[in-house]
Chain A
Amino acid sequence: MGNDALVSIQGVTFGYDSRDILSDVSLEFTRGKVVAIMGSSGCGKTTLLRLIGGVMTPRAGRILFSGAQVDTGDRAALYALRRRMGMLFQFGALFTDLSVFENVAYPLREHTTLAESMIRDIVLMKLNAVGLRGAAALGIGEISGGMARRVALARAIALDPEIIMYDEPFTGLDPIALGITANLIRRLNDATGATSLIVSHDVHECFQICDYTYLLSGGRVVAHGTPQELQATEDPEVRQFIRGEPDGPVRFDYPAPPIAQDLGVAA
């Protein structure tokens, strides 16, 4: 972890009112690597993506993208940074009033002055990369959820971003779609030289494709390392998460009085 970090999160604290979602977290994402951010629901993984994208501002600490601070309050500078980022939302977040083709063409039309024929070529190439070139003319209502995510991915890489962020890309997919998605993430990353950030709690898929992993719990980084390092860990909290054990440091039972008391049986 040196100066080849594309994104650097330094001592960031973020929360609403009195509740802190993230407390003094520091992470680094090296160029060209696939990094996974994992943790149970509500641990602040998605919030981290929003902070990197400048959608939210941390209460303390700072976030650097390619050396430039993200949260400066300058909207134009933020937009310039965002053009170098690609984000894949959990359910695609495609524009429902546009076709598949138009969705992928959207960032090209907004930020470039390329001729229509060039845009067409680029869009078809991006769709080809995700295997959906034949679906270009379809409307958003006509494609399945898995296909929608792939279209959203094509849209996210339309401007060849330096970093691609995936918000829960594996949630709710069938085994084939899972395989396709994981495969795509890895291939795209290697082919374009981009950096990929995956927020997920699918340990199995993530470990198959990522180079480095951060594990968040209770607003803090509780573990980080390569998949091999994490699988060999002795930390009970990390073990429970990685192995998917029902009971461990994260209790199975919601706090309650003893069962004998609840059932009225003399204890």
Chain B
Amino acid sequence: MTLTDFPSAIGRRALVIVAALGHFTAFFIDLLRNTPSGLRRFYLTILQVQAIGNRSLSIIAASGAAVGLVLALQGYNVLSRYGQAESLGVLVALSLVRELGPVLTALLFAGRAGTSLTAEIGLMKAGEQLAAMEMMAVDPRVRVLAPRFVAGIISMPLLGAIFSMVGVMAAYVVGVMMIGVDQGQFWSQMQDGVDVVKDVGNGVVKTVVFGIATTFIALYIGYESKATPEGVALATTQTVVVSSLSVLFLDFILTALMFSKP
């Protein structure tokens, strides 16, 4: 490529990205419009909550416990140096509820539920099931996409809360029962320091936003994937990458909005 080709190549690429962004947005608005009719067969949504939510429960709970344990150990390490070991409870709780709970749950969700959604939709596309639905005058966006979208939005906040809860309990087991931090201080400092609306509430808001983002990205990538085995494989990796980056980016924006001092 000569030097003069470079700007036009960038320009073309930029146009492609802008067009893709437009298509992405149009798809999102379309999906939102179809969601009410998709909810008419509510049993479909329930099936999806079971597939996406229930089945993610074990990895979320296990990870929550692991993170809680590690937070307690590391937190105690640092706090005891300043004689503030009793603050372990509030340290763990705030870390989990504000940040680690929503973000880690979202990343795990994208990896476990997101990829399964993408693969499922991609394979349905490859097997012409979506085309068959269209030919039978059934809108796949209403019957296939909308229930999964709603299921993701329902599941994420629940999973996020479970992650944080298990994390706090695991930190209690390590901090109070094993290391010997004072039980009363553990809970009272936590209750003093964690605000229902500002911390727990904002954490829930984050999980809802992450749920919308990760579920939609997974559905979109699956729906637009190439209808071949390689296409589906590529799509699942794309889902993980794009979802994860989006979650981290959204977290930055949300944290700045919610937790910066006025």
Contact = CB atoms under 8 A, between A and B. Distances in A.
Interface of A: 53, 55, 78-80, 82-83, 85, 87, 89-91, 93-96, 106-107, 110-111
B136 interface: yes
Given A91-B127, A93-B127, A96-B127, A55 B134 contact: yes
Interface of B: 127-129, 131-132, 134-139
Given A89-B128, A93-B129, A53 B137 contact: no
Nearest to B123: A96
A239 B186 CA distance: 89
A65 to B, nearest CB: 13
B137 A79 contact: yes
Contacts of A94: 129, 132
State the main secondary structure of chain B at its contact with A. loop
A111 B139 CA distance: 12
A110 B136 CA distance: 9
Contacts of B135: 53, 55, 82, 85, 87
B136 A107 contact: yes
Nearest to A106: B136
A111 B134 CA distance: 13
A89 B136 CA distance: 12
A91 B227 CA distance: 14
A28 B137 CA distance: 24
A178 B95 CA distance: 66
A89 B132 contact: yes
B127 A82 contact: no
A99 B137 CA distance: 20
Contacts of A82: 134-137
A207 B113 CA distance: 50
Contacts of B134: 53, 55, 82
Nearest to B127: A93
A93 B138 CA distance: 14
A96 to B, nearest CB: 7
B137 A111 contact: yes
A173 B203 CA distance: 57
Contacts of B137: 78-80, 82-83, 110-111
A78 B131 CA distance: 14
A38 B129 CA distance: 25
Nearest to B144: A95
